């Protein structure tokens, strides 16, 4: 994630800002330029200071304080490129459900920031009724004992509204023995399943993926039952990024995909702040790092991991000094780095293909 600047006064802006804290200008995210812009009202539209005064509409979900993005030029349904992927939303007349949905939208928009940065293929259900990416945000029925489960099914991602409740989410994290559980983590994991469909199966990479993550033809239901009955193997940290990744190759891919997004986006944020790790006691330089590259355009996964390990060592140490859990409580074994490298290759291949299309003037 980047830092942004208000075009009206030069103040620093953050991704979730709705207004500049210094000059009061309303601000919004301009997806195709990957930047925040100060905006000024022009009738029912808004003039974009970052785009030579072009006017655009705010997403319809801005009316619920759930989105701060501008729509695409000529967009007819009034939704931004992230909110066009919404299917079912909670009952917005219920203040509690509205508040929970807003929390979910914050995480979803951070997800889409990354997907847009890489120019990954994003089809809505209007574009592809059978396989397009769509999000249903569902609340539990108070009259039913059955609970909504977060998950993915052929492009349909269901997010349980209860995950927006910090107490509920923390209780589930403890019950499931997870070191990390966040809304953003849910989004990044579930969309990993979607991109397995699009980039691996749809991209002809299945055999290559199986060689790294294992045979995905193994019965998923049986694998899930075995995981919850027996737990992960004792040596799982040598081969997997998380215990849940041991469940099935699909979950291994989705977990690794989520961690790749964690690493890249967090490194970009650290670089934006000019963070440098240079411990006084590090005589051989193994714990020294300065992010001098764009993580979204890293040449290889080794460049990412080489910066990530010193950074997380430092941040984990700072968190412990505050009595908090580690910022990144995971181990990146050589096998996991290899899996991250496969994800990196998928993403880079898409970026290269898109760049070639743009150079040739093709849509």
The whole-number average pLDDT for the span 72-77 is 80
Query: What pLDDT shows up at residue 363?
Result: 56
Same domain, 120 and 57: no
Q: Is the dihedral of CA 216, 219, 225, 230 positive or negative?
A: negative
Domain count, the chain: 3
Per the listing, tokens 């301009």 go with 30
DSSP secondary structure letter of residue 200: I
Are 216 and 336 found together in one domain? yes
**Helices vs strands, H then E, count in the chain:** 8, 11
Segment 242-267 mean pLDDT: 96
DSSP-derived 3-state class of residue 273: coil
Q: Residue 348 belongs to what domain range?
A: 205-363
Q: Are residues 168 and 214 in the same domain?
A: no
pLDDT band at 359 (very low <50, low <70, confident <90, very high): low
| 252 plus 122 within the same structural domain | no
| Selection from 195, 250, 189 nearest residue 218 by Cα | 250
Q: Which of residues 77, 105, 133 is at a domain's end?
A: 77
**Are 186 and 287 part of one and the same domain?**
no
Would you say 20 and 8 are in contact if contact means Cβ atoms under 8 Å apart?
yes
Q: How far is CA 340 from CA 207, 250, 255, 363, in A?
A: 17, 14, 10, 29
pTM: 0.92
Q: Percentage of residues in the chain with pLDDT exceeding 70?
A: 98
pLDDT level of residue 43 (50, 70, 90 thresholds): confident
Q: Tell me which of 40, 58, 77 is where a domain ends.
A: 77
Judgement on whether residues 167 and 65 belong to the same structural domain of the protein: no
Say whether both 173 and 111 belong to one domain: yes
Looking at the structure, do residues 219 and 338 belong to the same domain, yes or no? yes
Length of the chain: 363
Show which of 45, 77, 109 is a domain's final residue: 77
Q: Indicate if 159 and 234 belong to the same structural domain.
A: no
Question: Which residues have C-beta within 8 Å of that of residue 127, sequence separation ≥ 6?
Answer: none
Is 148 in contact with 139 (CB distance < 8 Å)? yes
The C-alpha atoms of residue 357 and residue 163 are separated, in whole angstroms, by 39
If asked whether residues 227 and 351 sit together in one domain, one would say yes
Q: 13: which 2 tokens?
A: 């802006």
Let me know whether 283 and 344 are in one domain.
Answer: yes
Q: What is the band of 362 on the pLDDT scale with cuts at 50, 70, 90?
A: low
Residues 183, 300 share a domain: no
């Amino acid at each position: 994630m980047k830092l942004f600047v208000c075009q009206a006064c030069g103040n620093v802006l953050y991704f979730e800002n709705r207004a500049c804290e210094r000059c009061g200008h309303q601000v919004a995210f301009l997806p195709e330029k990957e930047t925040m812009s100060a905006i000024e009202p022009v009738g029912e539209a808004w003039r974009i200071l970052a785009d030579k005064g072009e006017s655009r509409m705010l997403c319809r979900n801005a009316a619920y304080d759930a989105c701060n993005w501008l729509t695409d030029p000529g967009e007819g349904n009034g939704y931004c490129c992230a909110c066009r992927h919404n299917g079912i939303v909670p009952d917005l007349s219920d203040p509690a459900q509205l508040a929970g949905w807003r929390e979910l939208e914050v995480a979803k928009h951070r997800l889409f920031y990354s997907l847009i940065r890489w120019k990954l293929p994003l089809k809505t259900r209007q574009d592809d009724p059978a396989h397009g990416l769509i999000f249903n945000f569902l609340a539990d029925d108070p009259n039913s004992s059955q609970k909504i489960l977060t998950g993915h099914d052929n492009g349909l991602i269901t997010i349980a509204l209860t995950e927006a409740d910090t107490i509920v989410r923390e209780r589930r994290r403890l019950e499931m023995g997870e070191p990390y559980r966040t809304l953003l983590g849910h989004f990044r994991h579930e969309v990993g399943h979607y991109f397995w469909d699009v980039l691996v199966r749809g991209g002809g990479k299945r055999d290559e993926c199986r060689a790294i993550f294992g045979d995905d033809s193994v019965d998923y239901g049986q694998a899930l039952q075995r995981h919850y009955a027996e737990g992960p193997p004792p040596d799982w940290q040598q081969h997997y990024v998380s215990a849940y990744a041991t469940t099935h190759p699909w979950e291994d891919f989705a977990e690794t995909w989520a961690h790749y997004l964690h690493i890249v986006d967090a490194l970009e944020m650290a670089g934006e702040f000019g963070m440098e790790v240079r411990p006084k006691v590090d005589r051989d330089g193994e714990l020294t790092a300065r992010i001098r590259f764009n993580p979204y355009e890293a040449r290889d996964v080794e460049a990412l991991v080489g910066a990530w390990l010193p950074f997380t060592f430092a941040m984990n140490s700072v968190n412990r000094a505050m009595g908090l859990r580690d910022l990144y409580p995971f181990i990146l074994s050589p096998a996991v780095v290899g899996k991250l490298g496969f994800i990196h290759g998928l993403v880079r291949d898409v970026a290269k293909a898109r760049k070639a299309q743009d150079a040739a003037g093709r849509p």
